[in-house]
Chains A and B, each alone.
Chain A
Amino acid sequence: MLLFSYLLMSGVTTGALYALVALGIVVVNKATGVINFAQGEFFMFTGFVGWMLHVQFGLNYPLSFLLAVAVGFVLGMLTDRIAFRPIAKNDIVSLVLATVGIGFILKGLARVIWGGKADYLSFPPITSPDPIMVGPLMVIPQQLAVLAGTIIIMLVFAAFFRLTRAGKMMQATADNARAALLVGIRTDRIYTLAFGTGAAIAAAAAVLTAPLTLLYPDIGFAFFLKGFAAAVLGGLTSLPGAVLGGLIVGVAESLAGGYIHSSVMELSPFLVIMLVLVLRPSGLLSFRKARRV
């Protein structure tokens, strides 16, 4: 039972992390209808930036967090300008390849700037590394920070989409860009906002998690796949779906890793993605429109 609760807790916290990555994917997809293949590299790169600010430059944690998020936002905006806006009307192949290309540029940059081939950077713990007891469970405070951060971000965005004008404009643009244009929505600004926000979320996730894990340039892709698995499980346009998906992937992975074999953990995104896309493409929580000719 103790093992189970430990695995559960561990799964929930990694799940929260996946949920954050998924949120970034969903926000961009909600507004633009596109999956940003560089999302994992946004995560990785801003994590490195946060490390640089906090460890190398000695800025305190909250400030590093904010700056990293700001850098993330800028990265997102740049991606929108470079890779999305000029190609938006073209075919999907170009879009995917362009974002993939940007991801690789970021990965190479990170390798060149911050480390050699296999440099692993460690982020010093922010909160006390000593585990505390929450009921029968043993937790590291940083894990709680990740959980809390995820919930806060999700609530903020849920409110954003439902209550603010900008959020509604984003939804409108995603539904029908032409119609949105016709009613006067500045769709190009919406796209920029979406990309920037998606990247900012990735940055927040990275800096929140950095104390819990090691940073290395190749970390982006694995997180991207898991984040995408979570997002697709929840239905690619549903924010609560992304969180739910993330938790499910995290817990399932943790349990499988604990009870079956640790190597199975790497397999989870593949299984989830294939199963969901083949069996229930609309995901658990949202509905996709049927294709009309």
Chain B
Amino acid sequence: MSAPLLSVGDLHISFGGVRVLQGVNLAVDRLEIRGLIGPNGAGKTTLLNAICGMYRPRQGSIQLDGASIVGRKPSDIAQLGLGRTFQTSQLFKGMTVLENLMTGLHRQTVTGFLSAGFCLRRGRDEEMRTEEEARRALHFVGMSDFADRPATALSFGQQRVVEIARTLIGDPRIVLLDEPAVGLSINRLTELDALLRRIRDQKGVTLILIEHVIRLVMDVCDRVTVLSSGRVIADGAPDTVRNDQAVIEAYLGKELRARHSAS
């Protein structure tokens, strides 16, 4: 039984007196797809933000592959192989799709400003390799035709896919996805489901996703953690969690009923 890839221990986070996370524990294994659900305001995004280094916890531990990452800069944590997508589109609007992807390779490349500025051979070679790899990644997500489109010219769903591709291209070990399915139609949901599995199976990436689309969570996740009011109230296989009383009371029941009556 190998150690978990990511483990969070007794995490406490407060903002100006408001306790957003109270004693959260989480252990995600290698190659797992973990769902993170819970009602609005439960602290899910805060948890992701803390893991990737944007917030500093008052108390608690966060370990990536056994090494503590608490208090480190987000860019350092990213360099360790942790990727992340966001609720709102964070594509670089001043770039094309291809350039966005090439930026995703930042941590894998080394050309400095002097090598770049003086147009040294090494820099040029690396630049060409970067472009090739970006095109390959674009192909993996089926969007080769969009290479030279400005990022702003994409539809919302397309932007989502490019963002995921951009995060993946840097070969992360683990990716945190914040509501990847928001705004997607039923067809797209199926595609996303397949894409997430492919990412885990073919690229060996561990995934943690925050989602409100319960169907996706139940289908694609190996385990589900439920957060409510800053605490973990359930943690286990999707079916177990689905039937957990506490969860149903806190969240699932109302959600399911609402979704059934809406769809």
Which residues of A pack against B, CB within 8 Å? Answer: 287, 290, 293
A293 x B49 contact (CB < 8 A): yes
A142 nearest CB across to chain B (Å): 44
**Interface residues, chain B, with chain A CB atoms under 8 Å away:** 15-16, 45, 49, 54, 86-88
Could you tell me if A293 and B15 are in contact, using CB atoms closer than 8 angstroms?
A: no
Q: Which of B16, B86, B87 contacts A290 (CB 8 A)?
A: B16
Nearest-Cβ distance from residue B117 to partner chain A, whole angstroms: 25
Q: How far is the CB of B253 from chain A (nearest CB, A)?
A: 29
Residues of chain B with a CB closer than 8 A to A287's CB: 16
Give me 5 other A-B pairs in contact (C-beta within 8 A), A290-B15, A290-B16, A293-B88 excluded.
A293-B45, A293-B49, A293-B54, A293-B86, A293-B87
Please indicate the chain B residues that have their CB under 8 angstroms from the CB of A290 in the complex: 15-16
Q: Give CA–CA (A293, B45) in the complex, Å.
A: 9
Complex Cα–Cα for A287 and B15 (A): 13
* B interface secondary structure, majority: loop
Task: Please indicate the chain A residues that have their CB under 8 angstroms from the CB of B16 in the complex.
Answer: 287, 290
Roughly how many angstroms separate A290 CA and B88 CA in the complex, as a whole number? 18
- The distance in angstroms between the C-alpha atoms of A290 and B18, with both chains bound, is 13
Q: How far is the CA of A290 from the CA of B13 in the complex (A)?
A: 14
Q: 7 closest Cβ contacts across the A-B interface?
A: A290-B15, A293-B86, A293-B49, A293-B54, A290-B16, A293-B45, A293-B87
The minimal Cβ–Cβ distance linking A66 to chain B, given in whole angstroms, is 44
> Hey, which chain B residues are within 8 Å of A293, CB to CB?
45, 49, 54, 86-88
* B94 shortest CB reach to chain A, Å: 11
Q: How far is the CA of A287 from the CA of B17 in the complex (A)?
A: 13
Q: What CA separation (Å) do A41 and B16 show in the bound complex? A: 38
> Separation in Å of the A55 CB from the closest CB of chain B?
53
Complex Cα distance, B16 from A287, in Å, reads: 10
Q: Distance (Å) between the CB of B48 and the closest chain A CB?
A: 10
* Chain A neighbourhood of B87, CB < 8 A: 293
Across-interface contacts of B15 in A (CB, < 8 A): 290
CA distance A293 to B89 in the complex (A): 11
How many Å lie between the Cα of A293 and that of B88 in the bound state? 8
9 pairs across A/B with beta carbons < 8 Å? A287-B16, A290-B15, A290-B16, A293-B45, A293-B49, A293-B54, A293-B86, A293-B87, A293-B88
Assembly CA distance A287 to B45 (angstroms):
23
Give A8 to B86 CA distance when docked, in angstroms.
54
Instruction: Give B90's nearest chain A residue, CB to CB.
Output: A293
Q: Which residue of chain A has its CB nearest to the CB of B55? A: A290
A293 to B87: give the CA distance in the assembly, Å.
8
Q: In whole angstroms, how far apart are the Cα atoms of A117 and B187 in the complex?
A: 70
Q: For the complex, what is the distance from the CA of A254 to the CA of B45, rounded to whole Å?
A: 50
Closest-CB distance, B85 to chain A (whole angstroms): 12
Nearest opposing residue in chain B for A287, CB measure: B16
| Assembled-state Cα–Cα distance A287/B49 (Å) | 22
B57 to chain A, nearest CB (A): 15
Chain A proximity of B37: nearest CB distance (Å): 19
Q: Kindly state the separation between the CA atoms of A290 and B14 in the bound complex, as whole angstroms.
A: 12
The complex places the Cα of A293 from the Cα of B84 at a distance, in Å, of 13
Of chain A, the residue at the smallest CB distance from B54 is: A293
A209 to B37 Cα, complex, angstroms: 61
User: CA of A287 to CA of B88 in the docked complex: distance in angstroms?
Assistant: 26
Q: How far is the CA of A290 from the CA of B15 in the complex (A)?
A: 8
Residue of A nearest to B45 (CB): A293
A-side contacts of B86, CB under 8 Å: 293
Nearest CB of B to A287, in Å: 8
Q: Across the interface, which residues of A come within 8 angstroms of B49, CB to CB?
A: 293
Residues on A with C-beta less than 8 A from B45 are 293
- Nearest chain-A residue to B15 (Cβ)? A290
B163 to chain A, nearest CB (A): 14
What's the Cα separation between A285 and B49 when bound, in Å? 29
Which residues of the partner chain A approach B88 to less than 8 Å between Cβ atoms?
293
**Chain A residue at smallest Cβ distance from B86:** A293
A95 → B minimal CB distance (Å): 18
Q: A287–B86 Cα gap in the complex (Å)?
A: 27
